[in-house]
Amino acid sequence: MLDIKIIRENPQFVKEQMAKLQAFDAPVDQVLALDEERRSILVQVEELKARRNAESKRIGQLLREGRSEEADALKAEMAQVAATIEALDARLKEVDAALFDAMSRIPNLPLPSVPVGKDDSENVVVRTEGRFREFDFPPLPHWELGEALGIIDFERGVKLSGSRFYVLKGLGARLQRALITWMLDVHIHEHGYTEVYPPFVVREHCLFGTGNLPKFGDNLYRDVEDDLWLIPTAEVPVTNLYRDEILPPGSLPIYHVAYSPCFRRERMSAGKDVRGIKRGHQFDKVEMVKFVEPEQGEAELEKLIADAEDICRRLDVPYRLVQMCTGDLAFAAAAKFDLELWAPGCGEWLEVSSCSLFNDFQARRANIRYRPAEGARPRYVYTLNGSGLALPRVMIAVLENYQQRDGSVVVPEVLRPYMGGVEVIR
RNA sequence: GGAGGGAUGGCCGAGCGGUUUAAGGCGGCUGUCUUGAAAACAGCUGUGGCAGCAAUGUCACCGGGGGUUCGAAUCCCUCUCCCUCCGCCA
């Protein structure tokens, strides 16, 4: 949610930003009109309420003094006022709801540093790092490797739950668990994050807080009976931890890391990435979430990226950092960088992390504030999050980069302590 | 799932239709006194919206929503959450 004052005071600027974002459906003019109407009603209705409050008190006084005739006359007069108030309040409620809805559909403003572009083709590769391995045999895609090793079972996954589900077995399951634990340990012990184990189903307002609703409900699973939603990422419960709170002075910055499964319907991507484990309806992820002071936003984003990048580097897999252009920016993000691992088997760069700075956009929606100093007025925090990292795609990168001619896969050095010392999956 | 009891300001806790601008206490802040501190005494004490250059004014908020009334923390309906007991359960 944007600060409505920005729209009110500088609508032209906001419209230009919306054009950069390709957000041509953003209801800026609607917001302006509704805001004006709202304020005009407020002025009228508040004046009437002030009068009613004063006269009601007067009625009480008259009754106590036994002047019931005067009281009755005043009552009759106030009944008229009350009726007018009721009508104005009803209209105000409609306007408020419409304004809220319109505001909810306006995306965040991009930082000035975000490159302007129409879609993902204009994203900018910031840098490419790591050692590309030379293969003296044609590297296989992970779906062939995994199936041959008996560690990924696609058919039975489909039997259980339909397309885009798979089963990990034996050292495949172990490898994923090792990655999760290792990543968590690195972030907790070396990057200063506090681990969180959140609920994996949440109520609707949590999804509103992070910006997934109302616009992106199509991609979510929902339990209609209890009105709970399966989380598409741990970002949702973790960001909402401090919803409707005013954090006391000295609380910031807060760094959290959480492991969670993620559930996505992926209806928007029907037919895309159907092979392998790149895009499933359920996947695991380690997610970092930060709450920081506004002045620290951009510096914290850089540190967040560095923390995610550290995982890639230690895995010794080639990766690149890509900055999203305005046309490819997520709804709630002010800036967003992806980390992509190279997968030589399927010949693709795999998005394993998405690091975003939201400024106060999510904090407004979720009402997360902090008090800069004792007695100071509350301010909205800035929120950030980034994957650290998404498991299936890291698994793909490990399997494909560490494969050997005989179809076995070497376990990366850093994971061996988490694999009971296993050095090769064969 | 069944039965009952609750939800009031940072915290505790009164209030059950109109001198409540939410009593009182605790905590916190400021001041007086003091060499300093404590104690005592006095004053202050939340969030948001709107109008205004500002001082300030005004409205809303007693778990959420709706209703009754000239007037609701207070009465009615409804939802959510918490607690106690029973049942079931990894």
Among A80, A104, A128, which residue terminates a domain? Answer: A104
More confident residue, A226 or A113: A113
Q: What is the DSSP string of A102-163?
A: HHHTSPPPPPTTSPP-SSGGG-EEEEEESPPPPPSSPPPPHHHHHHHHTSEEHHHHHHHH-T
Task: Give yes or no for CB of A10 within 7 Å of strand B.
Answer: no
Instruction: Kindly state the percentage of chain A with pLDDT values over 70.
Output: 100
pLDDT, mean of residues A83-95: 90
A25, amino acid identity: D
Q: What pLDDT is stored for residue A233 in this prediction?
A: 95
Q: What pLDDT is stored for residue A268 in this prediction?
A: 74
Domains held by chain A: number: 2
Q: Which nucleotide is nearest to A369 (CA to C1')?
A: B47
pLDDT, mean of residues A397-418: 97
- Quick one: which residue's CA is nearest to B29's C1'? A375
Find the Å distance, CA of residue A407 to C1' of nucleotide B78: 64
A324 and A297 both lie in a single domain? yes
A83 and A138 both lie in a single domain? no
A145 and A74 both lie in a single domain? no
A124 and A189 both lie in a single domain? yes
Q: Is residue A111 part of a domain?
A: no
SS3 A332: coil
Confidence of residue A417 (pLDDT cuts 50, 70, 90): very high
Q: Is residue A334 part of a domain?
A: yes
User: What CATH number did the domain enclosing A66 receive?
Assistant: 1.10.287.40
Strand partners, A246: A369
Find the Å distance, CA of residue A199 to C1' of nucleotide B85: 28
Positions of A annotated as catalytic residues are: 264, 279, 351, 354, 393
Find the Å distance, CA of residue A229 to C1' of nucleotide B37: 57
A82 and A171 both lie in a single domain? no
Task: Give yes or no for CB of A48 within 7 Å of strand B.
Answer: no
Confidence of residue A367 (pLDDT cuts 50, 70, 90): confident
Q: Which residue has the tokens 């029907």?
A: A270
Q: Which nucleotide is nearest to A71 (CA to C1')?
A: B70
Protein CB footprint (7 Å) on chain B nucleotides: 18-19, 21, 28-29, 47-51, 58-60, 66, 69-71
Task: Give yes or no for CB of A91 within 7 Å of strand B.
Answer: no
User: What CATH number did the domain enclosing A147 receive?
Assistant: 3.30.930.10
Q: Is residue A72 part of a domain?
A: yes
**What average pLDDT does the structure give for chain A?**
93
Task: Give yes or no for CB of A98 within 7 Å of strand B.
Answer: no
Find the Å distance, CA of residue A145 to C1' of nucleotide B80: 51
A98 and A135 both lie in a single domain? no
Please name which of A292, A281, A312 lies closest in space to residue A388, comparing C-alpha atoms: A312
Task: Give yes or no for CB of A203 within 7 Å of strand B.
Answer: no
Task: Give yes or no for CB of A55 within 7 Å of strand B.
Answer: yes
A37 and A133 both lie in a single domain? no
A350 and A226 both lie in a single domain? yes
* Torsion-angle region of A376 (φ positive above 0: left; ψ -120 to 50: alpha; else: beta): beta
Q: Which nucleotide is nearest to A62 (CA to C1')?
A: B18
Find the Å distance, CA of residue A297 to C1' of nucleotide B30: 35
Among A104, A138, A170, which residue terminates a domain? Answer: A104
Task: Give yes or no for CB of A82 within 7 Å of strand B.
Answer: yes
Find the Å distance, CA of residue A281 to C1' of nucleotide B1: 33
Q: What pLDDT is stored for residue A57 in this prediction?
A: 85
Given a cut of 80, whether residue A43 has pLDDT beyond it is yes
Q: Is residue A405 part of a domain?
A: yes
A77 and A135 both lie in a single domain? no
d(C-alpha A40, C-alpha A177), whole Å: 59
A229 and A323 both lie in a single domain? yes
Task: Give yes or no for CB of A190 within 7 Å of strand B.
Answer: no
Q: What pLDDT is stored for residue A137 in this prediction?
A: 96
Task: Give yes or no for CB of A4 within 7 Å of strand B.
Answer: yes
Find the Å distance, CA of residue A337 to C1' of nucleotide B12: 49
A133 and A52 both lie in a single domain? no
Task: Give yes or no for CB of A364 within 7 Å of strand B.
Answer: no
Please name which of A353, A360, A354, A362 lies closest in space to residue A397, comparing C-alpha atoms: A353
CB A284 within 8 A of CB A365: no
Q: Which nucleotide is nearest to A78 (CA to C1')?
A: B70
Strand partners, A102: none
pLDDT tens column, A57-81: 888 888 888 888 888 888 888 998 9
* Torsion-angle region of A321 (φ positive above 0: left; ψ -120 to 50: alpha; else: beta): beta
Structural domain for A137, as ranges: 120-425
Q: Is residue A114 part of a domain?
A: no
d(C-alpha A188, C-alpha A303), whole Å: 14
pLDDT tens column, A378-394: 889 999 999 999 999 99
Please name which of A385, A381, A352, A356 lies closest in space to residue A368, comparing C-alpha atoms: A381
Please name which of A307, A326, A386 lies closest in space to residue A354, comparing C-alpha atoms: A386
Q: What pLDDT is stored for residue A251 in this prediction?
A: 86
More confident residue, A182 or A229: A182
Task: Give yes or no for CB of A373 within 7 Å of strand B.
Answer: no
pLDDT, mean of residues A86-102: 90
Q: Is residue A110 part of a domain?
A: no
pLDDT tens column, A130-173: 999 999 999 999 999 999 999 999 999 999 999 999 999 999 99
A85 and A201 both lie in a single domain? no
Q: What pLDDT is stored for residue A54 in this prediction?
A: 87
Q: Is residue A115 part of a domain?
A: no
Q: What pLDDT is stored for residue A213 in this prediction?
A: 84
Q: Which nucleotide is nearest to A82 (CA to C1')?
A: B70
Q: State how far Cα A26 lies from the chain centre.
A: 19
Find the Å distance, CA of residue A377 to C1' of nucleotide B17: 36
Confidence of residue A1 (pLDDT cuts 50, 70, 90): confident
Among A74, A104, A134, which residue terminates a domain? Answer: A104
CB A358 within 8 A of CB A110: no
pLDDT tens column, A308-357: 999 999 999 999 999 999 999 999 999 999 999 999 999 999 999 999 99
Q: Which nucleotide is nearest to A79 (CA to C1')?
A: B70
Q: Is residue A113 part of a domain?
A: no
Given a cut of 80, whether residue A83 has pLDDT beyond it is yes
Q: Which nucleotide is nearest to A35 (CA to C1')?
A: B50
Find the Å distance, CA of residue A375 to C1' of nucleotide B56: 21
Task: Give yes or no for CB of A66 within 7 Å of strand B.
Answer: no
